[in-house]
Amino acid sequence: MVDSLKQAYRDYLVDLIRFPSLTGQEEACARYVLDSLKALGVEAYIDAAGNVVGELRRGKGPAVLLNTHLDVVAPGNEDAWRPYTPFGGDVDGDLVIGRGASDIKGGLAAQFFAFKRFKEALDAGRSFEGTLLFSAVVHEEAAEMLGMRALIEETLPRRGQPVDLCIVGEPTGGLAALGQRGKVEIAVTTRGKTAHSSEPALGINALEKMIPVTRYVFEEMPLQFKAGTPQALNSVTITDCVVKPGRMSVIPDLCEISIDRRYMPGEELSALLAEFEGLFDRLRAADPDFKAAAVPRSYREKTWTGYEREVIKYHPPWNTDPDLPIVKKALAGLEKTGQNPQRLFWKFGTDGSMTAALHHIPTIGYSHGGIEWAHQPQERVSLTEMCKTVEGTFAMAAEVLKLT
């Protein structure tokens, strides 16, 4: 049984990796997963945003959502992958290597096989109470939850389908993630006045006005994140800087920086923005020419189906209470397999922000994919370990849904 699962899992994961499903380019992978679900004989569909959903409904009872995503990040320098290839789905002994192996196609394949095992149990005459949902969503890597928002706020509500527990298959190294830091991309702009660069005093250089802001971010803000404080896991850095018009011999009248701000549960986005407004007030008091604004970065995003929305680049932080009855049941099911994972608090963002932070759905992150391999060259998973993810995911859902 273990060897047959490992072989089937390996083949399925290799197929998934061979789809270079960058964000916005998930169609081929989505249709492959849809066909896989339909081959099981379950109700399955692609929603308006391009998310793939499979359903097993068995009357009243809780609804468990298995969730991963279809998109992967770009492979980067392909020389760093040698002797492997990013989208080759290379197999090296117990390892499958390729972009998305850990984040998150290894988890997607594991959840698919857990879902498949449920269908096989039903076909064998077993029963459960409630609904098991499988989902593989689009646009997760873009860090704005566009696909997940469509699923949770539009697709499932239109079908009258609530969610009582979400299991997210992001890499945890086999631990149980019960929370994550928040992330927001803050755009700070300073304004000035153009002039010929041969006469800089006739203009107001927006880049010069940004200097005290960058000093604040790099030098003062990190001092707030002291060890032993609730903000100890916070972080802040600048990831981009653009000046406009950005031409030779022209003093720039606009400067914009991108700030990556990570924050903890209990902190609100409004407070993070207010911190910058306080800084701006102090700078305006000393410099009447200082003009600045700070807003969450937003974009107009479109999925492969043409579904389009304005989105904010953020993942709010969340915690799941391990003493919630449905969470205790799920973790008890996991323990019955012999796994007794320690708790994990993710530092990176996931679509769990949509379920847990914004919709208060108890959420557990779980996969034997290695966090250290996410977004890395030669990204990989162990077949032996990922088969444990299949078993553990199945066990958690089976305990909650009372599979008999």
Task: Give the pLDDT confidence of 62-75 residue by residue, as tens digits.
Answer: 999 999 999 999 99
**What pLDDT, on the 0 to 100 scale, is given for residue 59?**
83
Q: Does domain 182-300 have CATH number 3.30.70.360?
A: yes
The whole-number average pLDDT for the span 378-387 is 98
pTM of the model: 0.93
Query: For 293-350, what is each residue's pLDDT tens digit?
Result: 999 999 999 999 999 999 999 999 999 999 999 999 999 999 999 998 899 999 999 9
pLDDT tens digit string along 215-264?
Answer: 999 999 999 898 877 778 899 999 999 999 999 999 999 999 999 999 99
Domain boundaries, the chain: 2-180+317-401, 182-300
Output the pLDDT for position 228: 73
What's the mean pLDDT in 123-135? 96
Superfamily the domain 2-180+317-401 falls into: Zn peptidases (3.40.630.10)
Specify the pLDDT at position 143: 83
What are the pLDDT digits (tens) for 159-195? 999 999 999 999 999 999 999 999 999 999 999 999 9
**What pLDDT sits at residue 2?**
67
The mean per-residue pLDDT over the stretch 97-125 comes to 97
Question: Is 366's pLDDT higher than 70?
Answer: yes
What tens digit of pLDDT does each residue of 250-299 get? 999 999 999 999 999 989 999 999 999 999 999 999 999 999 999 999 99
Asked if 298 and 310 count as a contact pair (C-beta separation under 8 A), the reply is yes
Cβ 54 vs Cβ 157: under 8 Å: no
What's the pLDDT score for residue 229? 75
**Is pLDDT at 4 greater than 80 in this prediction?**
yes
